[in-house]
Structure 1
């Protein structure tokens, strides 16, 4: 079955609900230039400590300096760092040395053919890629949580050639996730706004989404 990552987790209660309904991973959003779901690091630490070990705890970071990313992970205790912006050359290797046993996931903001080239270049340096909608070139960067889909044919090309697992994000919901899975064939899907109502995790929407993912696998 396609793995499911529920992002923008905002409380211990939301984390428990997501895990109970079958999430394989949880996204915990630290300081970002834009987008939903940002919580402070003490709360990220509290939520992480409440999550059973088989579940991935993804720290979404907008930091690009290795020392800052390392310090953030050590404060929060997550088992995975999701890097939402581009890093300077050599940074992933430095993170590997500094954070043994911690998984690295690089976000690729899928915009055009250059995104495919970017994904191919960085994939050997990380444990997984996460393909999302966004724009790092705007005056206020969009690093995720846009609620928009992107060109899934580009994501499918990335998934086909990637040597590491690929998560698909960006505008997913119960109505379109089946088509998204059929088109891209990702290792996992990642959702935030599509399972929320008034900013809160909506159990009904989450159940519908999980059922749609199961149907797609069948």
Structure 2
């Protein structure tokens, strides 16, 4: 059976209007990407401005956690950027080790990229230490050329018995059309979407609302 509540993260937001639409539709987390060189990259000033406008315009009946995405960037810079933007969480998408993570000043989302051929018992061994350290885990598709937000999924069988653990979120290739099937198969604690709620590379408020509605009706 699906989990009673499936947490929802809308990621790769580049504008306040889309963030407001996601928040007002019932998202639990909003993601802002500060990773260098990716299509959805925000510079620190951009991110701070978007978050400030979002907080001004949102309906305060729902206040999602604000997540900044980073990858192998200077720890002090990550902390400074997160503070200036008023974020609540840091999502680490690279090879950051425990010494690096210990320098973070906010709670952690940890991206785990799932390689082809991975089986559930192997994935559980990777995920468990992060959960024991009170991190939220994002299970995403592995690619040598992309570090998330690719719109590609991994074999969901690898996440059987893993995605339904507390603080584990399923990502990779989700959209309004298939998220219900993902929930039926895996009962994930949460789901994370970026490209699946875009039209021609831009966040689409209608697809955001459709994605959240599909989850709520799953």
TM-score (norm 2): 0.84
Structure 1 position 145, deviation (Å): 0.5
Note the 1:66-215 alignment, pairs <5 A: 66-95=75-104, 99=105, 102-111=106-115, 112-113=118-119, 114-135=122-143, 138=144, 140=145, 142-160=146-164, 162=165, 164-215=166-217
CA distance in 2, matches of 1:64, 1:205: 32
CA distance in 2, matches of 1:104, 1:27: 13
- Secondary structure at 2:111 match in 1: strand
Structure 1 position 117, deviation (Å): 2.2
181-190 vs 171-180, which moves further: 181-190
CA distance in 1, matches of 2:36, 2:156: 25
**Corresponding residue pairs, total:** 204
Consecutive unaligned residues in structure 2, runs of 5 or more = none
Instruction: Decide whether the 8 Å contact of 1:165 with 1:187 is kept in 2.
Output: yes
Q: Deviations over 1:122-143 (max 9, x none)?
A: 22224311111133xx3x4x21
CA distance in 1, matches of 2:70, 2:91: 6
CA distance in 2, matches of 1:20, 1:88: 36
Structure 1 position 156, deviation (Å): 2.7
CA distance in 1, matches of 2:162, 2:76: 29
CA distance in 1, matches of 2:162, 2:112: 10
143-152 vs 195-204, which moves further: 195-204
Structure 1 position 83, deviation (Å): 0.7
66-75 vs 197-206, which moves further: 66-75
Q: Deviations over 1:157-212 (max 9, x none)?
A: 3235x4x4111111001111011112221121111111111222223222221221
Consecutive unaligned residues in structure 1, runs of 5 or more = none
Residues 79, 147 of structure 1: CA spacing in aligned structure 2 closer, same or farther, 3 A cutoff? Answer: same
Structure 1 position 70, deviation (Å): 2.0
Considering only aligned residues, what root-mean-square deviation do their CA atoms show, in Å? 2.1
Instruction: Decide whether the 8 Å contact of 2:130 with 2:136 is kept in 1.
Output: no
TM-score (norm 1): 0.84
Instruction: Decide whether the 8 Å contact of 1:93 with 1:125 is kept in 2.
Output: no
